[in-house]
Amino acid sequence: TMADLYKGQLVILEGVEKKEVSALSKPIDRIEEAASIRFLGNNKQKVGILVNFPEDVFLPDKHLQFLTKILEACKMNLGDVAILNHATQKVGITELRPLWQPSALLLFGITPEEFGLPINFPEFKSQAYDGVIYFTFPPLEVLNQDSENGKILKSKLWVCLKKLFNI
């Protein structure tokens, strides 16, 4: 059975209270803490993506497919990033930084102020701050359009990502 294959593996379920895992070592506490912030992806490349979709757990399929295509063009996949829906989890940089240890954070439809940054900067301009490279972009639903404006915004996004990922 599947359970036999993974015998002895640590599985942390959302909602597990700390007292239930108190016998575990200190690094496990950190994993449990990370488990309380729900995100999509494995964060292998330490790239965080924040989106803003109040009606969805993460983001609508249409926009997930769009992001997947963008990542493929950047020679990455969902395993390389961590996607958090800021609308459903109002997490700031002070909570995310120790858990994700990001090298870059891409904010789609979220201002630096909403994310708890003490600086402000325009969309499509990189901003290095405290060891992390930040970009703010329009919301995915604005970028992911077949209109002339959508095409212009996608090309501006691509220019930023090529620079960020040395493509």
The confidence score (pLDDT) of residue 84 equals 96
* Phi, psi torsion values for 127, nearest 5 degrees: -140, 115
Q: Is the pTM of this model over 0.85?
A: no
Tens of pLDDT along 76-133? 999 999 999 999 999 989 989 999 999 999 999 999 999 999 999 999 999 999 999 9
Res 21 pLDDT > 70: no
CA angle 92, 93, 98 (to 5 degrees): 120
